[in-house]
Structure 1
Amino acid sequence: MARPRQERAEQTRDAILNAAAEMFDEYGYAGASINRILERAGVTAGALYFHFKSKEALARAVMNAQSESIVPFLGSKGLQRLVDITLIWSFQLQRDPMLRAGVRLTGEQATFGLQDATPYQEWADIMTGILTESAENNELQAGVEPRELAEFVVEACTGMQMYASVVSGRQDLPDRAVRMWRLLLPGVAVPAVVARTEVNPLRVRLAATAPAQAAGATS
C-alpha cells in the first residue's frame, strides 16, 4: 500500500513543479501567483504546501532542476560530452519550460530577494568533472585548468543565451553554441580531439531528441 501512495505523491509533486515552471516561464516570479500554479497543476493548496513550504521554495526547486532537462540525453564521453551539454542546452531552451523557467528565475532572483549561485555551481561542477577526465585522457592542451575552463563555459553560455534571447528569441542559440566551440576548441583541446569532436547544428537536434545512446553513437 505504501508504494502506490508514494507514487501518487511523486506524481503530484511533479505536476506542481511542471505547472510552476510553465507559470514562471510565462510570467516570471512576480506574475506567477500561487493561484495560477494551483489552477495549472489541478491540485489543492494543501497539496502544494505539503511538497513546497513557500513560493520561494518552489522557485528554488525549478532553478535547481536545470540539469534534469539535459543530462538524461547525454551518451558521449570526454570533451564531446561537454560540447553536447551546451548543444542540448541551446536546443532545450527553445522548447523546455522547466529549463527556460530555471534560467529565467536564476537571472531574476535578485528581484525576489534571493542570491543563490547553486545552478551555476552545479553546472561548473558537472563540467569540471568532465574536463578533469578529459585532462587525464590527454584531450586538453597543457596548461588548461579544468575548473577555470568549466566556469568560463558557464559564464559564456549565461551571457550568450541572454544575448540570443533579445536578438532572436533564442532561435539562433544553437548556432551561437556551435560558433563558441569552433572558436574555443582549438585553444583548449589537442589537435586530434579538435578533429574528431562534432560541433554542428544537426548534432544539436539529434542529441536533444534521440535516446542517450544516439547522442554518443558518433563520438
Structure 2
Amino acid sequence: MAKQDRAIRTRRNILLAAAKVFEEHGYQAATISEILTSAGVTKGALYFHFKSKEELALGVLDAQDSQFAVPDRPCKLQELVDVVMLHAHRLQSDPMVRAGVRLAMDQTATGLDRTGPFLRWVELSRELLEKAQAQGELLPHVVPARTSEVFVGSFAGVQSMSQAFSNYQDLMARASELLRHLLPTVAQPYVTASLHLSASRGAEVYQETQRLVEQRPPQHEEAAAVG
C-alpha cells in the first residue's frame, strides 16, 4: 500500500508540475525538461506514468474535473448552474483547472486532442437538461442536445473574455450574467425565479463540495487523485 501511495503522490506531483508549465507557456512551448525540473522527479519516474508530452497534457485535461462534483439537486437547472459556477470559481484559484482550460482553448496545440473537455461538458449539460425536461423545468421548445452545445460554447467564450480582460478575476460576475441571459430562454418562469445565480454561488458550492471531499474515506481520495 505504501508503494501505491507513493506512486499516486508522484503522479499527482507530475501532473501539477505539468499544469504549471502548460499554463505558463502553452502546449507547444512547454518542454519535458521544464516539467521535470518543476516536479523534481527523474525522467524515468515521469515516463513510468506518462509516455509523452501529449499524455501529460491529456492527463491535465482529465484531472481538472476529477475531485469535485456537485451533489444532486432536486432542481436540475440549479444543478447545472452550480456546475458552471463551481468551475468558474475553481478556474480562479486551481492551477490544474487553469491549465486544463488553457490547453483546451489553445488553438496552437498541434497534435493534441482538445475535444475531451468540451465533449464532457456537453454530455453533462445534456444529461442535466434532459432530467430538467423530465421534471417539467424547461420550456416546450427546448432540445437538450442542442441547448447543451449552446451553453458550453457560450461559457467557453465568457472564459476567454475574462482571461483577456482580467486574468479570470471578473469571471464569477461574467458567468452569473451569462446564466441570467440564457436561462430565461429555456426555463419555465417559475424555475428561473427560484434559481440561485449570484456571483457568490461558486464559492458557496465550492465550500460544500470541499466538505464532502474531506469526508470521503481515504481510498476514495486516492481514486480521485489517480483521475
Q: Same fold (TM over 0.5)?
A: yes
Cα deviation, residue 210, structure 1? 3.4
Which range moves more in the overlay, 172-181 or 31-40? Answer: 31-40
Tell me, in whole angstroms, the C-alpha distance in 2 between the residues paired with 1:120 and 1:175. Answer: 22
The answer on whether the counterparts of 1:74 and 1:213 sit within 8 Å (CA) in structure 2 is no
- 1:163 corresponding residue in structure 2: 161
- 1:178 corresponding residue in structure 2: 176
Tell me, in whole angstroms, the C-alpha distance in 2 between the residues paired with 1:192 and 1:9. Answer: 50
- Unaligned residue ranges in structure 2 (runs of 5+): 213-227
Cα deviation, residue 212, structure 1? 6.0
Tell me, in whole angstroms, the C-alpha distance in 1 between the residues paired with 2:83 and 2:115. Answer: 19
SS in 1 for 2:37: helix
Aligned amino acid, residue 71 of structure 2: G
Name the CA shift for 1:191/1:173 in 2 (closer, same or farther; >3 Å). Answer: same
- Does the alignment pair 1:75 with 2:81? no
Cα deviation, residue 51, structure 1? 0.6
Name the CA shift for 1:213/1:134 in 2 (closer, same or farther; >3 Å). Answer: farther
The answer on whether the counterparts of 2:14 and 2:35 sit within 8 Å (CA) in structure 1 is yes
The answer on whether the counterparts of 2:36 and 2:43 sit within 8 Å (CA) in structure 1 is yes
Tell me, in whole angstroms, the C-alpha distance in 2 between the residues paired with 1:16 and 1:93. Answer: 20
Tell me, in whole angstroms, the C-alpha distance in 1 between the residues paired with 2:184 and 2:153. Answer: 19
Which range moves more in the overlay, 174-183 or 111-120? Answer: 111-120
- Does the alignment pair 1:112 with 2:110? yes
Name the CA shift for 1:213/1:16 in 2 (closer, same or farther; >3 Å). Answer: closer
Tell me, in whole angstroms, the C-alpha distance in 1 between the residues paired with 2:111 and 2:69. Answer: 33
Cα deviation, residue 61, structure 1? 1.3
What fraction of aligned residue pairs are identical, expressed as a percent?
Answer: 40
Tell me, in whole angstroms, the C-alpha distance in 1 between the residues paired with 2:172 and 2:129. Answer: 22
Tell me, in whole angstroms, the C-alpha distance in 1 between the residues paired with 2:115 and 2:29. Answer: 23
Tell me, in whole angstroms, the C-alpha distance in 2 between the residues paired with 1:51 and 1:182. Answer: 43
Name the CA shift for 1:202/1:34 in 2 (closer, same or farther; >3 Å). Answer: same
Aligned amino acid, residue 163 of structure 1: M
- 1:217 corresponding residue in structure 2: none
Cα deviation, residue 110, structure 1? 3.9
The answer on whether the counterparts of 1:164 and 1:170 sit within 8 Å (CA) in structure 2 is yes
- 1:43 corresponding residue in structure 2: 41
TM-score (norm 2): 0.86
- Unaligned residue ranges in structure 1 (runs of 5+): 215-219
Match for residue 99 of structure 1 among 94, 97, 100 = 97
Aligned amino acid, residue 24 of structure 1: F
Which 4+ stretches in 1 moved above 4 angstroms? none
Tell me, in whole angstroms, the C-alpha distance in 1 between the residues paired with 2:61 and 2:14. Answer: 14
Match for residue 130 of structure 1 among 122, 128, 131 = 128
Tell me, in whole angstroms, the C-alpha distance in 2 between the residues paired with 1:213 and 1:83. Answer: 19
Over aligned residues, Cα RMSD in angstroms? 1.8
TM-score (norm 1): 0.89
Tell me the number of residue pairs that the alignment of Structure 1 and Structure 2 aligns: 210
